[in-house]
Amino acid sequence: MSRSYTTLFAALIAVAGLVGIARLAERDDESASAATLPPVEAPAATAPPATTQPAAPAGCSVSSRLAVGDASPDVRCLESFLVAAGVFVAAPDDTFDVATEAAVKAFQQQHELVVDGVVGPQTARTLGAWSGPDVLPPDPERCADTGNSAVVDRFNQRAWLCVDGAITETFPVTSAWSQPDTGTYEVYAKDMEASSTLTGEYSTMTHFVAFTYGKYQGARIAFHSVPKDADGEYVQPLDSVGSDELRGDSSGCIRVLPDDAQKIWDHLAIGDTVIVAS
């Protein structure tokens, strides 16, 4: 190779080396810049929209229990509130029909109420429509039409006995918060003496009238007297039965006063109806 070619070749190698060094330096600078950039924060979480009551139609309120088949100005008022709540699209009228019931159930579902299509103080109050008393009298329409039956109103911590659709006795109860579910059941067992370790503590009870099973642990659910602990003491003061403060103290059964337990035992036979209304 001639000297001129040798010199040219050496020059080309030198230039390539300088370019390579420059590129390495550029990559090092980019790495250093990336390493020193401040961390990118995730966007702030958006809070869920606040639940608001629908706007109340002017000069209108609901003061009585309403269900399918009712016809009155109160129904028109109810439907106006359901329109405001966005669950009813028809023109309000005085008839509580299946469309009204469907809208009520949709509203109850949205607001985690008992979904039964019936409008009482709880549903109407949530709508912003209620102007009646906080607690309505026991409702004979909840009784079975014929024979002996019992109705449980967990929301108001009470129950009542019925004969052929008429109320014969009302009494306070202590129940669980979330069971038994609303529905119609039949008495399937009766035990004069019963015991439980469901809460981890041994307790005994009398006049055990079973009508369903727990949805969490499958234990029998029944009316029974207020339990006694291993020392023979009642697990709650008898004068607290029916109080809202003790609601949820039961694991699922319906605790009643000893005298009321006897009345329920005498009233209900196997096969009789128990209705959990709320």
SS3 of residue 229 by DSSP: strand
* pLDDT for 123 beyond 60: yes
* pLDDT for 9 beyond 70: no
Which pLDDT score, from 0 to 100, does residue 58 have?
Answer: 60
* pLDDT for 112 beyond 90: no
The model carries a pTM of 0.66
* pLDDT for 56 beyond 70: no
Q: Give DSSP secondary structure letters for 33-101.
A: HHHHSPPPPPPPPPPPPPP-PPPPPTT--B-S-B-TT-BSHHHHHHHHHHHHTTS--SPP-SB--HHHH
Render pLDDT for 60-107 as a digit per residue (tens, 0 to 9): 999 888 989 999 999 999 999 999 999 999 999 999 999 999 999 999
Identify the CATH homologous superfamily for domain 140-276: L,D-transpeptidase catalytic domain-like (2.40.440.10)
Contact between 77 and 93 (Cβ < 8 Å): no
Render pLDDT for 10-40 as a digit per residue (tens, 0 to 9): 444 344 443 443 343 333 333 333 333 333 2
SS3 of residue 225 by DSSP: strand
For residue 57, what pLDDT band results from cuts at 50, 70 and 90?
Answer: low
Pick the CATH number of 56-136 from 3.40.50.720, 3.30.1380.10, 1.10.101.10, 3.30.70.100: 1.10.101.10
Which pLDDT score, from 0 to 100, does residue 95 have?
Answer: 96
Which part of the chain has CATH 1.10.101.10?
Answer: 56-136
The type of residue at 9 is F
